[in-house]
Amino acid sequence: MLRTKNKSRRLAASLACALFAISAYAQVESEKPRVFERFDGTHCETTKAELDLIAERAGQEGLIIIISHLGTKESSRSLNLRRLHSLAAYLQKTRAIDADRIVTAEGERVQGLGRVEIYLKGKLFTVFTVKRNRDLARRCSTA
């Protein structure tokens, strides 16, 4: 009887450790930013769905920070501004996010593809990499 109790306790302890490890791994995985690669302005549904998720996660008062970075061989500051404007405009017009809750900024140039980073609650939540000289949502009707 004593052996059975000890085995049961060891099994329960092992299961508890395994569940804790899985839970910790899931939490770390959920903290990683969502990365969307090589966008060229034609991925409208994915872009809109991600912006909808961002609006939902921000809640009624959360601040949304959008930072756009020009990539290698991109020189147009207006390209950076268009990328920022299209995302901010979608959040304001479609998701009714107040303009004072959306902060947009131009970041330093990055190597490789251009990139747009979106932060929620001070943490990097989403990264879009954008093909050279392309807008993020140029062909999207409401973005």
Give whole-number Cα distances, 48 to 27, 51, 130, 136, in Å: 25, 5, 15, 11
Residues 89-108 pLDDT 10s: 999 999 999 999 999 999 99
CATH number for region 33-143: 3.30.360
In 15-120, beta strands by DSSP E: 34-39, 64-69, 102-106, 114-120
Question: Could you please report the per-residue DSSP string of 29-47?
Answer: HHHSPEEEEEE-S--HHHH
Residues 7-26 pLDDT 10s: 555 555 554 454 454 544 44
The domain spans of the chain are: 1-32, 33-143
Neighbouring-strand partners of residue 116:
68, 128
> Can you read off the two tokens belonging to residue 74?
């991109």
Residues 50-63 pLDDT 10s: 999 999 999 988 99
Task: Look at residue 119 in the predicted model and tell me its pLDDT.
Answer: 97
